[in-house]
Structure 1
Amino acid sequence: MNKALFTSTPMVASSKLNKDEGVNNVAQYMYAPREQHLLIGKRILHYLAGTLNYGLGFMPDKLHLSAFSDGDRGGFADDRRLIYGHCVFVGESLVSWSAKKKVVSRLTMEAEYRSLVDATAKVAWVDALLIDLKVP
C-alpha cells in the first residue's frame, strides 16, 4: 500500500467542531453530513489502514485492572446534552471504552455517577473474564 495514504493520528488534536463544520464523533452527524465530516471520516480510515499490524501486549507480571470515568453537562455546543464515558485498562493496554450522549437531568453530578456506574460494571465484567481465563 501507498504510505502516503496513512496518517499517524485519527483526528487533528485541535479539532473542536460542530454539526455545521466537521465532527466530534463522526457517527453523530450521519443524519446530515457535511463535506468536513467526509474528510474526517477518510482521515480515520487512513489511520486505521496504517495500524493493521498493531496489537495489545500483556506482560504477565504487570497485569492490573484500572479504569477512568468522567461526565460532563453541556460539552456539546450543538445540543447541550449530557456526555459521559469510561475506559478500562488491563496493564497498560486499553481493552474497553465507552462514551454516551444522553438527555437527562440538569445536573453534572448525574453524568459523573452514570459514568462511574458504567465503569464499575465494565471492570467487574473484565475481572470475571480474566478469572475465567485463569489470569492471575
Structure 2
Amino acid sequence: MAAPAAGTLISAIEVGAQIDDITEATSWLGVVALEEGWPDATRFALELSLEEALTNVVSYGFRGAHAAPHIRIECYRLPERRVAVRLIDNGVPFDPTNVSEPETPDSIEDAKIGGHGVQLMRHFLETLAYAREGEENQLTLVAGVAGGGA
C-alpha cells in the first residue's frame, strides 16, 4: 500500500477491534501530536475524526467478515504543513465518503442521535478520502497544521 502523496511515515500502531481500543488509538495520536508540535485545533480535528471512524469500524466493520479483525493506523507528515492519518482495516467494504449528510431536523426534539460522525469529519478535516485496496478499507484523514511545528 502506498503512502499518501509525498508523505513521510511518522508513526503507526495496530489496535484491536473493541470499543476500548479506540482510547488506545486516540491516546497514541495525542502523543504523536505533542511530539510533532501540532496546534490544538489540528490535534482535536484528527483525534475526533479518528475516534468517529474507529467507532464505525469497530461497531459495524466486522459484521459478516470472514477474517480475524485487523486494524492499523498510520500517521504521515505531508508537504505544505499538513498531516494525514490513515485507518486501514480488513472489515467489510464501506466508503464513508459516500454517506450523505443527515437531514437538518425542524427542532431539537426531532433530532436523531447518531449518524453525524462523517459530517463532523468533513467539517474538521481538509480531506477525507477512501480506497478499497484488495481486502482492506483505507480511510485517509488530512488536516493542516498551520501555526504548529510540523
TM-score bracket relative to the smaller structure = under 0.3
Q: Which is greater in Rg?
A: 1
Give the structure-2-normalised TM-score.
0.24
